[in-house]
Amino acid sequence: MTLLDSDSSSDGGNSSDDFWNVEEDGNSSEEEPDGNGSTADDGAAVTMRPLFLVPRSQCRAEELASPLLSTPLDVFFEICSYLNPKNLLALSRVSKPLRRVLMSRNSISVWKSARQLIPGLPECPSLMSEPEWAYLIFGTTCQSCWRVRVRKVEFALRRRVCEACMDQHLVDADELPERFPNANVWVTIMIPHLIISRDEPSHSRNTGFKAYWDTDVENMIRKLEGFEMDISEGRIDRTVLDKFKLEKVADVAEFLQKSEDYWEWYSENIKLWHEEKTESLMVETKRRLVSLGWQDEDIMGTDLLKAVSDYGIDKDLTPQRWEGIYAELEPELLLRRRRARIALITTLYNEYRETIPRAQCARLPTPTTILKFPDIIRILASEPHRDEVTLCIDVMSQLSTMISQWKLKIESDLLAQLPKGSRTPSDLGLVTSVFFCTSTACRGSNIQLVGFDALTHECSYRRPRRSEYHPECLVFSARGHAAAVSLCEALGLPLDTTLPQELDQLNPRFFCQNCSTTTSGRRGTDLAYTWCQCISHFRRGNAKHRESHASPRWIMLSSDARDALLSKEEDTDPELTE
């Protein structure tokens, strides 16, 4: 006889032999659904006689084609005897035929053999069936709402339930008369109960308050009412009811006494199993990450435990689970790899700068700027590499070419903004080439950039501290250019060759002829500007200032007045003139 040759409609079947309801009163109302969302049929039990589980005429094509469903029952039971309880639970969810067989009393030997494969696993209590006991120990979902990954087990209630269902279904002993008026004293001692404190459930029975599961109370009330009806109709004698009460009270007392031992075994062994399984999955996860090219430095520090736990450590690392775990880890791995490459590239670039003469370093891009080079961006976003150092060294070997291309790009952008007739690279170094940064985050947005300073300018951010180059923020200043032209004319210097360094050496001082005099009617030396201050003074200001300063007009201090001013500045702050 095979699984498909069994017929549940044959004589001799006991409709109450569903192992999920070991008690004849149907105690467990929360029956676990199978893989298709349905529950096991109450009348589908298999007896010791050759019964037909599903007639072949009613079988689906995929069931007929299954080698497992065509296996003789004795061979099938022999195969199942090598499976542990967790495997049997999984097998019972494959199809309804398998579930009917495994949930029948005929398969009790299979469940006992499976239980004996787990060293130290306590015997199945008399109040529970073997499948119920197996699910209580090895299940992972709430038996009331089927919420996943519920690890807490309440042995005193014979249930694995979540906190939300505990709050919903637990009935305190003080509330019992109000919720269930028909519940007498016998009901309270014939069903398991949980000892809870004011704050949280506890497995200790020494202190606390009794609480009952509402469906246990309802089922026991119905069971006793059924006995009373049978007695009143003369079908049974009252001694049968008395015997049932005494047996039930004894079973419950024994079960509650052992519930503490059950919890101690479970908490100790499940914790060890959880740690071993977690470590095994983490090792396998690391191995797969390394095979994909990730370095140990990238993997260290990632929250592997959380990623593995989120997808359940009690399951094998299937392709679907691995895809989910990797999707969760990949963003963090990419970020860590990018940071490591940035640090390596920055170190290599600083070593490169040390080989360049100091006079030329001023025109080199900063480390932040080189990270925006196309080749560097490509490396930062590339796939994991087994030798990150070699990868970065290879791209940094082309650094001179990248810097040259960067300089040409910046010079081209700035030259395009200069007035017509001044479009050679050397013109960018003239004192008349005045730019300013329009970035609102730049602390120097109100300070002009004269000459080659524009080539190395970076926008400085206060929070967080960082610098970035934004060439699109540099704008040619027509008013700054006009001020620089007027200063060169006042000094008698040629416009096409004068550099900022020459004005720094001369260090002249000027009064703004457009500004009004001081209240005393004379100009004070405090209003004398350097050439840089002159450009900034004329370029900046509100609309009223620009209206009164339509064109730059300056009065240069005499040599004696300038020397006196410099001497005064030097006495006030010796470093000022330096």
Same domain, residue pair 186 and 276:
yes
Please check whether residue 224 is in contact with residue 187, taking contact to mean a CB–CB distance below 8 angstroms. yes
Task: Examine residue 304 and state whether it is found in any structural domain, yes or no.
Answer: yes
| DSSP 8-state class, residue 50 | -
Where are any strands of DSSP class E within 245-358?
Answer: none
Same domain, residue pair 160 and 222:
yes
Closest CA to 19 of 120, 87, 137, 99: 99
Please check whether residue 528 is in contact with residue 510, taking contact to mean a CB–CB distance below 8 angstroms. yes
- Report the percent of the chain where pLDDT is more than 90: 9
Please check whether residue 425 is in contact with residue 433, taking contact to mean a CB–CB distance below 8 angstroms. no
The pLDDT, as a whole number, for residue 13 is 34
Same domain, residue pair 228 and 125:
no
- State which of 111, 139, 167 marks the end of a domain: 139
Question: How confident is the model over 398-448, as pLDDT tens digits?
Answer: 888 888 888 888 788 888 888 876 667 777 888 888 888 777 666 545 666
The pLDDT, as a whole number, for residue 213 is 92
- State which of 338, 366, 381 marks the end of a domain: 381
Joined tokens for residue 462: 């206060």
Phi and psi at 485, nearest 5°, equal -65, -45
Task: Examine residue 577 and state whether it is found in any structural domain, yes or no.
Answer: no
Averaged pLDDT score across all residues of the chain: 76
The pLDDT, as a whole number, for residue 221 is 93
Task: Examine residue 125 and state whether it is found in any structural domain, yes or no.
Answer: yes
**What is the number of other CB atoms lying within 10 angstroms of the CB of residue 275?**
11
Task: Examine residue 368 and state whether it is found in any structural domain, yes or no.
Answer: yes
Q: What is the pTM of this model?
A: 0.49
- CB-based burial label for 352 (10 Å; 0-12, 13-18, 19+): middle
Question: How confident is the model over 221-255, as pLDDT tens digits?
Answer: 999 999 999 999 989 899 999 999 999 999 999 99
Same domain, residue pair 104 and 125:
yes
Residues of the chain with pLDDT under 50: 1-55, 201-207, 444, 461-467, 517-523, 574-578
Token pair 């589980």: residue: 53
Same domain, residue pair 246 and 287:
yes
Task: Examine residue 408 and state whether it is found in any structural domain, yes or no.
Answer: no
**What is the number of other CB atoms lying within 10 angstroms of the CB of residue 540?**
17
Same domain, residue pair 175 and 287:
yes
The pLDDT, as a whole number, for residue 141 is 87
3-state secondary structure of 387: coil
Cα distance between residue 145 and residue 165, in whole Å = 7
Question: How confident is the model over 119-132, as pLDDT tens digits?
Answer: 888 898 888 889 99
Contacts of 296 (CB under 8 A, 6+ apart): 290
Same domain, residue pair 273 and 316:
no
176: containing domain: 154-199+206-292
Tally of domains in the chain: 3
Cα distance between residue 541 and residue 548, in whole Å = 10
Same domain, residue pair 165 and 286:
yes
Peptide bond into 552 cis (omega under 30): no
Cα distance between residue 247 and residue 190, in whole Å = 9
The pLDDT, as a whole number, for residue 215 is 92
Closest CA to 88 of 113, 71, 124: 113
- State which of 106, 139, 172 marks the end of a domain: 139
